[in-house]
Amino acid sequence: MHQASKPRFGIVVFPGSNCDHDCYYVLKKILNQDVRFMWHKDSSIKDVDVVVLPGGFSYGDYLRCGAIARFSPIMKAVIEFEKKGGYILGICNGFQILCESGLLPGALLKNESLKFICDYVNIKVENNTTSFTNLYQSTEVLAIPIAHGDGNYFADESTIKSLEDKQQIIFRYCERNGSVSQAANPNGSTNNIAGIINEKGNVLGMMPHPERASDEILRHTDGKKLFESIIHIFK
């Protein structure tokens, strides 16, 4: 795999993706990275080092969120790419697609309130030793937007225990002061889970939107270090 000083980012565009351009903007214009779009019908990753599965409503969220995207030609290539250790970041609908594809364990259920929630929340960095969080402080609290109807993370007890034991829970919904409480949980997610990583450490899925908190003009920039962390590992 290509390991130059600058990684090449590829953002997958599914019919119904709507955060693809936000990710592109942050990577290209703010972080000055090499980035291109990849169409869902492409069957090859080519020379991309980091795949981003953006937020949105791929295939109209038909059947289940992310269920149909999983069978698109590009996802076959993404699954192969993962096997070779390629880095994959799934945001919101991208997280749902990663779970449906089996690249991450568990599933995202309907929010407990049944409502689509569009809001700023606080999340705590639970593990800052990953390829996606290495520039954050341990237990740092980030203010970051969420926008989802199905963000209620669920997995069976043994999977949750394994995620906890192996420190694969990367972000948890919390209060501003960092305490993880029921009140700070926007969607009913098990153990306040907002983002997880796979065991190998190359696939991260998260419901909050770091790309919507990366530009000074929006006054929130807590998401930027996530992208910078990935860039950092290629240096």
Residues recognised as catalytic: 92, 209, 211
Binder of another protein out of 113, 129, 139, 167 (CB under 8 A): 113
**Applying CB under 8 A, does 64 fall inside the site for another protein?**
yes
Closest to another protein by CB, 113 or 137: 113
Binder of another protein out of 3, 84, 114, 165 (CB under 8 A): 114
Q: Convert residues 197-226 into a mask of x (bound to another protein by CB under 8 A) and - (unbound).
A: ------------------------------
Q: Which of 153, 228, 230, 223 lies closest to 190 in space, CA to CA?
A: 153
Span near another protein by CB under 8 A; candidates 25-33, 40-48, 59-67, 213-221 = 59-67
Residues 173, 109, 227, 201, CA torsion sign: positive
**Applying CB under 8 A, does 116 fall inside the site for another protein?**
no
Least separation in angstroms between residue 186's CB and another protein is 14
Alpha-carbon 187 to chain mean position: 17
**Applying CB under 8 A, does 67 fall inside the site for another protein?**
yes
**Applying CB under 8 A, does 100 fall inside the site for another protein?**
yes
Residues contacting residue 185 through CB under 8 Å, at least 6 positions apart: 173, 192
> Which residue pairs, CB below 8 angstroms and at least 24 apart, start in 178-182?
178/122, 178/124, 178/139, 178/141, 180/124
Span near another protein by CB under 8 A; candidates 11-19, 118-126, 154-162, 196-204 = 154-162
Span near another protein by CB under 8 A; candidates 8-16, 47-55, 103-111, 127-135 = 103-111
> What are the CA-CA distances from residue 144 to residues 50, 185, 187, 190 (Å)?
22, 14, 15, 19
**Applying CB under 8 A, does 196 fall inside the site for another protein?**
no
Q: What is the identity of the amino acid at 10?
A: G
113 in Cβ contact with 187 (< 8 Å): yes
Q: Which residue has the tokens 């990849």?
A: 38
**Applying CB under 8 A, does 109 fall inside the site for another protein?**
yes
Least separation in angstroms between residue 183's CB and another protein is 18
At 154, is the secondary structure helix, strand, or coil? strand
Cα distance between residue 39 and residue 65, in whole Å: 19
Least separation in angstroms between residue 159's CB and another protein is 9
SS (H, E, C) 53-78: ECCECHHHHCCCCCCCHHHCHHHHHH
Residues in touch with another protein (CB under 8 A): 63-64, 67-68, 71, 99-100, 105-107, 109-114, 154-156, 188
